[in-house]
Amino acid sequence: MTPSIFFGAYIVDLIIGDPRWFPHPVVIIGKFVGFLERGMGGFIDKKRPGSFCGLPWLFPFISLLWE
């Protein structure tokens, strides 16, 4: 990456930036994970949280993100 591309991208980011009306992608992912956790509530082992909950969602989630 050349310095001109770096500074050009920096200036464009300062001008456009993250729009205030659109939530940050991390917020969207967090809400999606919360939705999945609520859906898997019956499968969660209360003594060992997270031991089985994520396994059924691993392949579908990765397949959605795969390009």
Give the pLDDT confidence score for residue 18 in this predicted structure: 78
Q: What is the mean pLDDT of residues 10-38?
A: 85
| Cβ count within 10 A of residue 52 | 12
Of 17 and 9, more confident: 9
Residue 56 pLDDT more than 90?
no
Q: Is 45 within 8 Å of 51 (Cβ atoms)?
A: yes
Task: Name the token pair of 13.
Answer: 């980011």
Kindly report the pTM of this predicted structure. Answer: 0.43
Average pLDDT on 35-54 reads 64
pLDDT at 32 exceeding the cut of 70: yes
pLDDT at 53: 60
Enumerate helices (H) and strands (E) in the chain, giving the number of each.
3, 0
